[in-house]
Structures are given as structure tokens and as C-alpha cells.
Amino acid sequence: MSVRAMCVRVVLVCTGNTCRSPMAAALFEHYARSEPRLEGVEVDVKSAGLQAVEGEPASPAAVRAMRARGLSLDDHRARPFDGEMASADLILTMTERHKAEIILRHPEAAANVYTLKEYAADPSGRDIADPFGGDDEVYEATLREIETAVAKAVERLAKERTQGQ
């Protein structure tokens, strides 16, 4: 992954692109904007789903959980992961299964695909469970897990960029 570029394209991926990946993308963008080592670097963050139905809104519980952190998913619309996204500088998935499916579909992207927790060097495992259908407490727990991993992932990205200069 080249982090020396003035633009780093990041895609966060889950299954339906209505819960985990939109929450992770909004947080990633938020953390990247406030990371001093990424000043002057455009961090282009998108989210997608491997089985997304184009145009679906974020789940209401995901919207509520993000709103509690002052971030909005009101305008989010689901989109399927595609070949253009496979050329991103960094592809972060919510599970090992998502990672394996992307590599199977787009072997040329393999070097840039990690689970979010893997890239964040999170020792608690590699998968973030799908909260779909759960209550607000389930979404909040999932969001806390994502937020911890995203903070570490942005820190790693910033560190790699600084070392790469």
C-alpha cells in the first residue's frame, strides 16, 4: 500500500452496507480528519457491502448509535463492492469471510485487504459481529468495538505515512 500519495483511498466493507461498514467509514473519516500526521493528505473513505442492495438506507439503530456520537448516517445509501473499489489503497473488512471473498473476486487487491481488527492489530480476534436485527444495546456494543479498531487503524495509517516520507 502506498501511503506516500497525497490521496489515500480507503474502503470499509461488510455484508449489506447498512450497519457496520457505514458506521466504520464515518468514524474513519472523523478520526482521519483529526489526525495531525494526516494533515495535507486527502483520505477518501467509502463503504460498501458484498451483498448490498443498492440504495438501502443505514439501519435505524446504526443511525441512532452514530447520532449519539455527533455523526450522521442520514444520507447514507448502500452500495455493492465493485471492481473500482478493489483498486483502493486500503480495504478493511468486518470479517475474515469478507476478506476472503474480496480476495477471491479480486486477487489483484490481496496485498491491500485486511480485516479492520487485523489492520488495527487488535488482539481480540479478527471479526466484528453483525448487529443487524439487534436492539440499540447490540448496536452500541458493535459501535464501541468498531470505534476502538478504527482509532488504531487511523493511527497505523498515519504512522505508515510518516515513516514513508
Instruction: Give me the catalytic one of 89, 130, 136, 156.
Output: 130
Instruction: Give me the catalytic one of 9, 19, 20, 79.
Output: 20
Instruction: Give me the catalytic one of 9, 14, 19, 79.
Output: 14
Q: How many CB atoms lie within 10 A of CB 45?
A: 22
Distance, C-alpha 126 to centroid of its chain:
13
- Asked about 130 being catalytic, the answer comes back as yes
- Asked about 14 being catalytic, the answer comes back as yes
- SS3 assignment, position 123: coil
Q: How many CB atoms lie within 10 A of CB 59?
A: 22
Q: In whole angstroms, what is the distance from residue 89 CA to residue 136 CA?
A: 33
- Asked about 20 being catalytic, the answer comes back as yes
Q: Give the active site residues.
A: 14, 20, 130
